[in-house]
Amino acid sequence: MGLIRRIVATGRAAQKAPKRPEPLPPARRLKRSLQIRHVDAGSCNGCEIELGQAFSPVYDAERYGARLVASPRHADAITVTGPVTVNMAEALRTTYEAMPEPRLVIGIGDCARNCGAFAGAHAVLGPVDDVVPVDLHVPGCPPEPDTIVAALRGLTGR
């Protein structure tokens, strides 16, 4: 009974959908359905927290057609966070190759774009572009959930 009371009291936690961003070229092919597999290639987990928030009840990216899946075989796109460390390079490449074509790579955060605060570290191989071709960058350290959701909406077209 306590749970029912909590559900009624909370009501709808999702925020009102912001203005729809411009659809990007892949949106025509994806047609409002985007399955995403997340790969942490060596991040500090700040971007993971924001990405998690993007799929939380408040921002709720699922309503725009994006969904996280458990295997790259099921995915249309991978979201990559962090500078690619030496140990994760091969894993990232394998994950990318496991995706069926046509496939996308979304780099989340400044580290994915140019190694951010970790540039030049001994364990870092380079930005994501050095390992797999990136189709979309989401800037920020970490990017806000709104920015991530806007990027995903650009791909789904909703």
Q: Which of residues 101-120 bind other proteins (CB under 8 A)?
A: 101-102
Least distance from other proteins to the Cβ atom of residue 8, Å: 10
Do residues 51 and 38 touch, judged by C-beta distance below 8 A? Answer: yes
Distances 141 to 7, 22, 136 between C-alpha atoms, Å: 34, 23, 16
Residue 24 or 98: the one with the smaller Cβ distance to other proteins is 98
The first and second tokens of residue 13, run together, are 């936690």
- The whole-angstrom separation of Cα 62 and Cα 101 is 23
The first and second tokens of residue 110, run together, are 């400044």
Candidates 5, 12, 19, 122; binder of other proteins (CB under 8 A) is 12
Applying CB under 8 A, what is the total number of residues that bind other proteins? 39
Per-residue string for binding with other proteins, 53-92, x by CB under 8 A?
----x--x-xxxx-xxxxxxxx-x-----------x-xxx
The answer to the question of residue 20 lying near other proteins (CB under 8 A) is no
Q: Give me the half-sphere count of Cα atoms (radius 13 Å) on the Cβ side of residue 154.
A: 16
Query: Interhelix angle for 46-54 vs 145-156, to 10°?
Result: 60
Site residues, other proteins (CB under 8 A):
3, 7, 10-14, 17, 30-33, 35, 57, 60, 62-65, 67-74, 76, 88, 90-92, 94-95, 97-98, 100-102
